[in-house]
Chains A and B, each alone.
Chain A
């Protein structure tokens, strides 16, 4: 019983430290109007080493990017990348954990 409890606590601590290493970026990208546009942007982001997931919101033009913490985006890098894709990068915000709700398909946006 004690061994099981110790093991569970250990796993929980490991999981906690792994989650803490994740970093989420919210990128404001203008000009995306269709599923194809979004796919192009998501594909480019997912090719970057350390990016675990990328998910875009059509209406707001925000792309949520979950990284393993090893990625440090810069404005210049993102501006150049989205320029190549045919869109306009505006800004980003960074948080220390990835929010699961930003990467699920059940996140309804009722502004449409």
Chain B
């Protein structure tokens, strides 16, 4: 159960990253840039995460593969709704014990509302809080953790034609299900997207290539099993994610490698080695 909670935490952390709209935006988290009223945005993301180590000579190796579908809809110019549905495959090898589960993971729904906007020619600054819930649509103990969890946060975005900067803080309040309660998390994210090509914008340029560098820090509280704290859970993780993003008028392709730079987890908690995030976004 402990290992399941760590895996699920990693997956959910990445899945929430899929909520970005189909604008030039962070790869591993959200943006405050607008979704037009009545407009539908779609994003298909593929994530591979590996966690491994040797504990007292025993090999522990977990690979999580996720195909994440995201839909966003602009209800009003300020309010956008999002739905995130992951299909996951979890391949686990703990010593001589192997298991492999595939299926629907825990889905997420959330709303984002713009509270501040300051536009100027080719530039904008936006601030938008968001809130939502992760639903127990996955198979408990296999592709989901069975709980309904709430989260809320705030996004700041400053964008220009040359670069975008996004930052986010998010708190996830996890609840108890089947005696297990994953620890709450608080995270802070930052992303800089810098236009590499074209170096000079033509009047009708219709595609940009961005270099992307993102940083993510997450503080995880300890899990509880039947009310008892699991000492091998919780801690602090930090990632750096270099990436590339190619944005056209109708679609965006992007990839980033999420590299752990701090894995200060308690006890024998299994830490991630890397995550590879690739996605396509479409504007209908």
Contact = CB atoms under 8 A, between A and B. Distances in A.
Contact of A58 (B37, B39, B122, B252): B122
Contacts of A112: 161-162, 198-201
B24 A108 contact: no
Contacts of A30: 119-124
B23 A36 contact: yes
Sorted from nearest, which 10 A-B pairs have the closest CB atoms?
A86-B34, A31-B119, A39-B249, A61-B121, A112-B201, A30-B119, A88-B119, A107-B203, A34-B24, A84-B37
B71 interface: no
Contact of B77 (A56, A85, A104, A110): A85
B241 to A, nearest CB: 20
Nearest to A87: B119
Given A84-B77, A108-B202, A60 B247 contact: no
Given A36-B249, A59-B201, A106-B202, 19 more contacts: A30-B121, A31-B119, A33-B124, A34-B23, A35-B205, A35-B208, A36-B250, A36-B283, A37-B23, A40-B39, A42-B249, A57-B204, A58-B161, A86-B37, A88-B117, A105-B203, A107-B203, A107-B204, A109-B201
A5 B120 CA distance: 53
Interface in B8-24: 22-24
Interface residues of B, number: 41
14 contacts: A33-B24, A33-B164, A34-B24, A34-B247, A35-B208, A35-B247, A56-B204, A57-B203, A61-B122, A85-B34, A86-B33, A105-B202, A107-B203, A112-B162
A33 to B, nearest CB: 4
Given A33-B123, A59-B122, A40 B283 contact: yes
Contacts of A107: 202-204
B250 to A, nearest CB: 6
Contacts of A110: 200
Main secondary structure of the interface of B (DSSP, over half): loop
Contacts of A36: 22-24, 247, 249-250, 252, 283
A9 interface: no
Interface of B: 22-24, 33-39, 74, 77, 117, 119-124, 159-162, 164, 198-208, 247-250, 252, 283
A67 interface: no
Contacts, number: 118
Contacts of B77: 83-86
B203 A108 contact: yes
A31 B202 contact: no
A84 B35 contact: no
Contact of A109 (B23, B33, B203): B203
Contacts of B123: 30-31, 33
A38 interface: yes
B246 to A, nearest CB: 10
Contacts of B159: 33-34
Interface string A29-52: 011111111111010100000000
